[in-house]
Amino acid sequence: MFFKKLISEPRPQPERSSQGDASGSLQLKAVQGGIAHSIALAPTSVPTGGPVAPSRNDEVGLGLVLDALGGVLTALARYPIDLPDRPGDQSSQEISRWHRHATLGYAMEESTGSGSVGVNDRDWNGVVRTVTELRRDEHRYVEASISELRDALWSCVETVHNAVQIDQTTDKTADEQMERARVALKRMQTGSIKSEVLGAVQSIEGALTERREAQQEQYVTLATKLDRVGRQLEEARRENTTDPLTGIGNRKLFDASLPRAVQMYTLGRLPVVLLMIDLDKLKLVNDMYGHQAGDAAIATLGNALSKVFLRQSDILCRYGGDEFAVILQNTDWKMAQTLARRLQEQISAMPSPHPSMEFQIGASVGVAQLDPYEDAAEWMARADKALYRAKQNGRDRVCIAESLMIKIA
């Protein structure tokens, strides 16, 4: 241990404080955030008759402190982080120099040629300042790197999504043109020309189909990987996207998750459903029993949502006021309808938000399954219309939104 070396060397006499402190304690200054703090090491009582030699326990205690400090500095030097303006090897060498200075008394400037430096003469403020600045720079670099990685991943998703949308539009136009060609060719009387042109159309259609299938396999693989990374990133950001009253996601989480759900559907083509939920009679609860009872009713709905939608991929959000939203991946509208009714049963079974309440609160639900070529705004508009119909039909109802594909057909 380092303290064995210290025992063998003559220990210099501690300096007295400028104010004549009779305790004779050694004063060090620790720098924390740029502010110096005084630290007293190994205080010993010094009678007026003269200094007393340090005890064996003082020597051993100081040695143990230096051993612990040496272990911390060794760990920092062994596992450095490469920073943009400072490579890890440089940081490791600098920490090692401070390690030798603090624990063994080596001079910081080798050119001076001085021997071992006593404990009182070592630059303790420099040790604290160097470690603090290094950890601060590493912390800023790691935070910035994680933020850039998150942005780059979702930029990749958006780029692939836009490229797929372009291909889908082109394929749809080609399909329409080939259909018109078939109708026109059927009216031709010359058998040989008709046969050749029809064969060319079929060949083009086969090539398009083959390309779509190959792309679909690639998109499913990519969507699976991105979905896994996306879930990890969502967990890291969950703290600042949580509604404090209900404990589920807030409007910020919903605004970020809705367009991403559309992008993930474009890649994987797995069904995804949006539920818009409105707490019935909340205004009546606030007017009759106060806003505390209203808050309790909102919290009750949030609790019911957490008990019904249990998958990690289910996104539960308080959209605002008494309105909530749920995004269900890999779920069609039939399953979503079943879950919505289960939610209503869960709400009716929960305790009343106020002991004097004479009526039961409920929830109206609008369900919309995402259609191909539909964007986030169109998807949400259909879910809102379904919710409006549910409230107009007597509240505490579940209504399914009409599909855009059915309207087009």
Residue with tokens 């399909």: 175
- Identity (one letter) of the amino acid at 73? L
How far apart CA 108 and CA 117 sit, in angstroms, is 10
pLDDT at residue 27 tops 50: no
Domain shared by 388 and 258, yes or no? yes
What confidence tier does 119 reach under pLDDT thresholds 50, 70, 90? Answer: confident
Domain shared by 218 and 293, yes or no? no
**Does the residue 342 lie in any domain?**
yes
Q: Give 374's Cβ-side CA count (13 Å radius).
A: 26
Look at residues 175, 207, 236 and tell me which one is the last residue of a structural domain: 236
How far apart CA 380 and CA 201 sit, in angstroms, is 39
Among the listed residues 400, 340, 339, 338, the one whose alpha carbon sits nearest the alpha carbon of residue 371: 400
Please list the alpha-helical segments (H only) found in 48-123. 56-78, 88-104
Centre a 10 Å sphere on the Cβ of residue 375 and count the other Cβ atoms it contains: 13
Q: Please enumerate in sequence order all residues whose Cβ is within 8 A of that of 209, keeping only pairs 6 or more positions apart, or say none.
A: none
Domain shared by 8 and 118, yes or no? yes
Tell me what pLDDT residue 274 has.
97
Q: Please enumerate in sequence order all residues whose Cβ is within 8 A of that of 227, keeping only pairs 6 or more positions apart, or say none.
A: 264, 268, 313, 329
Residue 274, SS3? strand
Look at residues 197, 219, 236 and tell me which one is the last residue of a structural domain: 236
pLDDT at residue 258 tops 80: yes
Look at residues 100, 122, 144 and tell me which one is the last residue of a structural domain: 122
Across 74-88, 226-240, 250-264, 286-300, least confident range: 226-240
Tell me what pLDDT residue 30 has.
41
Residue with tokens 């995004």: 327
Residue with tokens 């579940």: 398
**Number of independent structural domains in the chain:** 3
pLDDT at residue 164 tops 60: no
How far apart CA 308 and CA 131 sit, in angstroms, is 50
Taken in order 217, 219, 221, 224, is the CA torsion positive or negative?
Answer: negative
Residue 256, SS3? helix
Helix (H) or strand (E) holding 197: helix 191-236
pLDDT at residue 295 tops 90: yes
Tell me what pLDDT residue 196 has.
52
More reliable by pLDDT, 196 or 55: 55
**Does the residue 137 lie in any domain?**
no
How far apart CA 97 and CA 105 sit, in angstroms, is 10
Q: Provide, rounded to the nearest whole percent, the portion of the chain with pLDDT above 90.
A: 30
Which residues in 255-276 are b (16+ Cβ under 10 Å) and which e? ebbbbbbbbbbbbbeebbbbbb
**Does the residue 147 lie in any domain?**
no
Across 250-264, 296-310, 374-388, 394-408, least confident range: 394-408
The stretch 252-279 carries a mean pLDDT of 93
Domain shared by 229 and 377, yes or no? no
**Does the residue 95 lie in any domain?**
yes
Residue 28, SS3? strand
Tell me what pLDDT residue 219 has.
83
Domain shared by 258 and 373, yes or no? yes
Tell me what pLDDT residue 123 has.
87
Can you give the pTM of this predicted structure?
Answer: 0.48
Residue 12, SS3? coil
Tell me what pLDDT residue 210 has.
76
How far apart CA 112 and CA 127 sit, in angstroms, is 19
Domain shared by 277 and 251, yes or no? yes
Tell me what pLDDT residue 20 has.
39
Structure tokens at 181: 């060609």
Tell me what pLDDT residue 401 has.
94
The stretch 361-374 carries a mean pLDDT of 93
How far apart CA 327 and CA 317 sit, in angstroms, is 9
Tell me what pLDDT residue 355 has.
84
Domain CATH number, residue 329: 3.30.70.270
The stretch 118-131 carries a mean pLDDT of 87
Give the residue numbers spanning the domain of 171.
153-236
DSSP string, 299-343: HHHHHHHHHH---TT-EEEEEETTEEEEEEET--HHHHHHHHHHH
How far apart CA 63 and CA 3 sit, in angstroms, is 4
**Does the residue 299 lie in any domain?**
yes
Across 104-118, 185-199, 273-287, least confident range: 185-199
Domain shared by 248 and 354, yes or no? yes
- Identity (one letter) of the amino acid at 23? S
Domain shared by 104 and 248, yes or no? no
**Does the residue 210 lie in any domain?**
yes
The stretch 225-254 carries a mean pLDDT of 81
Q: Are 276 and 224 in contact (CB under 8 A)?
A: no
Q: Are 399 and 386 in contact (CB under 8 A)?
A: yes
Centre a 10 Å sphere on the Cβ of residue 360 and count the other Cβ atoms it contains: 12
Domain shared by 261 and 374, yes or no? yes
Distance from the Cα of residue 108 to its chain's centroid: 43
Domain shared by 286 and 398, yes or no? yes
**Does the residue 370 lie in any domain?**
yes
**Does the residue 81 lie in any domain?**
yes
pLDDT at residue 42 tops 60: no
Across 36-45, 164-173, 347-356, 369-378, least confident range: 36-45
Residue with tokens 């008709």: 194
pLDDT at residue 168 tops 90: no
Mean pLDDT (the chain) is 77
Instruction: Kindly give the pairing relationship between strand 323-329 and strand 363-369.
Output: unpaired
Domain shared by 223 and 325, yes or no? no
Domain shared by 185 and 312, yes or no? no
